[in-house]
Amino acid sequence: MNPMSWAKRGLPGILHHYTETLVTFEYTSQAASQPHSVLFVGGLSDGLATTSYTADIISALQPTAWSFFTLVLTSSYQGWGLSDLDRDTEEIAQCLRYIQNYKASRFGEGGKLVLMGHSTGSQCILHYLHRPNPHPGPLRGFDSGLCHENRCVLDGAIMQAPVSDREAIQSVLEDGLGDHTAGECREAYDTLVKLATEALASPGSETQFAVLPIALTSRLGLGNQTPVGARRFLSLASPNSPQQPGPDDLFSSDLSDEQLTATFGAVAGRGLLRYKLMVAPSGRDQSVPAWVDQERNLRRWRDALEHKGKYPIWDVEHSGVVPGASHALSDDDQEGPRQILARRILAYLRDVEKRRGL
């Protein structure tokens, strides 16, 4: 049966509260014992089960020892504009800890745990793996409620469709968007950078939550119903890059080797990944400008991650551009790319399952 047809009929599973107000949904099969877990994190504006290609992965995992989780974060749906990667990472860590304890209570210790991210979910993966553990804390009161607890070690990690929001915005500035010309988009961008910079430079913690005009942020493709705060806008647009990249600017093609060493290159030393990192960009990604060479990006990311071969933690066998894949593999012609991605992920999980680490 086509997984998408199956998904439209409804997918069975269990809804869990991993905090008092946040939930994760587990797609699980009663026909198989599933002590191992994949937690999926979507991109900007995604929420519970909004990334359609996951139906193919869920279908492939039904007879295996792996169950598939998706979750709601504070940043889900239209919440991303007032959140950040630190909050995402903390909530992902809480969810992973919940899953770890839940599976241990059912199957005993030893269940494998893999974190998978799509689009901005890939930023969450890299943020989880390379930042200090625990994180030292917030700046100027933003996200002051975070505990910054210790993050658990992962058995594997997958980044799918990692893209640069900054380069996507730059493409809009060159080509325009919809009915708006490139000049109109550039004018909106310059105004937004000015407003956001002034807001963050102003005294008082309340300026950290300043919301920019939606009429302007929507002109750059940031959603016509999404409030975007000054802090998150500057993180995504990263106007001082590549010299001083914002927290979200992890995958831009013009970042220096030194900057990649500070992110990808910090993963091995952080010790939060037992096996290898799988990276699967979409070959026909609408969010990737034509000037970006994705194969070159992969080579540079791998060199930084592995310190040019010193730490073999890049999954060579299953990583690589997914040919013909659109950003979220949701177009009508995406059945083939979805099957390719699902097969790669299933093969990667088999390797995670049978290996104890490096």
What pLDDT, on the 0 to 100 scale, is given for residue 274?
A: 96
Q: Could you tell me the pTM of the whole model?
A: 0.94
* pLDDT per residue rounded down to tens, the chain (358 residues): 455 554 556 788 999 999 999 999 999 887 789 999 999 999 999 999 899 999 999 999 999 999 999 999 999 999 999 999 999 999 999 999 999 999 999 999 889 999 999 999 999 999 999 999 987 765 544 466 677 778 999 999 999 999 999 999 999 999 999 999 999 999 999 999 999 999 998 876 556 678 999 999 999 999 999 999 999 999 999 999 999 999 999 999 999 999 999 999 999 999 999 999 999 999 999 999 999 999 999 999 999 999 999 999 999 999 999 999 999 999 889 999 999 999 999 999 999 998 854 4
Token digits for 213? Answer: 């005009």
Amino acid letter for position 7: A
Under 8 Å between Cβ of 29 and 60? no
SS3 254: coil
Domain ranges in the chain? 3-163+253-354, 167-237
What pLDDT, on the 0 to 100 scale, is given for residue 14?
A: 94
CATH no. for 3-163+253-354: 3.40.50.1820
What pLDDT, on the 0 to 100 scale, is given for residue 64?
A: 95
Angle of the 182-201 helix axis to the 165-175 helix axis, nearest 10:
140
What pLDDT, on the 0 to 100 scale, is given for residue 2?
A: 53
What pLDDT, on the 0 to 100 scale, is given for residue 140?
A: 47
Centroid of chain to Cα 184: 30
What pLDDT, on the 0 to 100 scale, is given for residue 1?
A: 42
Under 8 Å between Cβ of 166 and 249? yes
